[in-house]
Amino acid sequence: MAVVAVTNPKGGVGKSTLSTNVAGYFARQGGTVVLGDVDRQQSSRLWLQQRPEAARPIVRWNIAADAMERPPKDVSHAVLDTPAGLHGKLLKEVLKLADKIVVPLQASVLDIFATQAFLSELAEHRHAQGVQVGIVGMRVDGRTLASEQLHQFIEGLGLPVLGYLRDTQNYVHLAAHGLSVFDVAPGRVARDLEQWQSICDWLDA
């Protein structure tokens, strides 16, 4: 079983978008996939509720922030959407569960500063040993100064940059129907699937 946690202490950076699409990717691979949500907003859980029966199945992982238990043994992949402000005891519990941590990061100074402090805490945490950590740039417009600042920051982290996802309404429209970019005709989201390729390679490694 592979457990992937999507984490960042900053709210609104795209954790649920990333979580649901990671789950959608694993479901496309044909495994038994569960998706857990310990964020207050419960966006990933709501996404699951909208998911059509015809889509590849993703099961809700009934997990609570105050009682974090491993997913069922018959699961091939588990994805966990975590809350803003993740630190301390809850971070420790997430690190105990996760094999891989994906950190979404937006191109804003506030997001960069908040994430920098979190990554420092993560690096120093004794439970982080053996957990793979990767960065995904979210809603990145390569034509902006903010994007250039994000690139410079990420390059100095010493962590793998899994990829950069553009700011597109595709994610918004698909989320409203409980779908990911991996659930629709490839031609409809060809540019997005191209951006996901390096992320998927890391998830599968």
Percent of the chain with pLDDT over 70: 96
- What are the phi and psi torsion angles at 185 (to 5°)? -55, 130
Q: Give pLDDT, residue 85.
A: 82
pLDDT attached to residue 146: 62
* pLDDT above 70 for 143: no
pLDDT at 142 (0 to 100): 62
Predicted confidence band of residue 68 (pLDDT cuts 50, 70, 90): confident
The whole-number pLDDT of residue 37 equals 96
Q: Say whether pLDDT at 131 is over 80.
A: yes
pLDDT at 199: 96
Q: What pLDDT shows up at residue 182?
A: 98
What average pLDDT does this structure show over 32-61?
Answer: 96
Q: What is the pLDDT of residue 159?
A: 80
- Which residues pair with residue 5 across a beta bridge? 80, 101
The answer to whether residue 111 scores a pLDDT higher than 90 is: no
> pLDDT band at 22, cuts 50/70/90?
very high
* 95 and 18 Cβ atoms separated by less than 8 Å: no
**Whole-number average pLDDT of the chain:** 90
Q: What is the mean pLDDT of residues 54-66?
A: 93
Q: How many angstroms separate the CA atoms of 42 and 82, rounded?
A: 10
Question: Pairing mode, if any, of strands 100-106 and 132-138?
Answer: parallel
Amino acid letter for position 129: Q
Give pLDDT, residue 204: 95
Q: Mean pLDDT: which of 41-50, 65-74, 100-109, 145-154 is highest?
A: 41-50
pLDDT in tens, 170-192: 999 999 999 999 999 999 999 99
Average pLDDT over residues 102-112: 83
Specify the pLDDT at position 24: 98
The average pLDDT across 12-41 equals 95
**HEC readout, the chain:** CEEEEECCCCCCCCHHHHHHHHHHHHHHCCCCEEEEECCCCCHHHHHHHHCCCCCCCCEEECCECCECCCCCCCCCEEEEECCCCCCHHHHHHHHHHCCEEEEEEECCHHHHHHHHHHHHHHHHCHHHCCCEEEEEEECCCCCCHHHHHHHHHHHCCCCCEEEECCCCHHHHHHHCCCCCCCCCCHHHHHHHHHHHHHHHHHHHC
CA dist 54 and 71 (Å) reads: 24
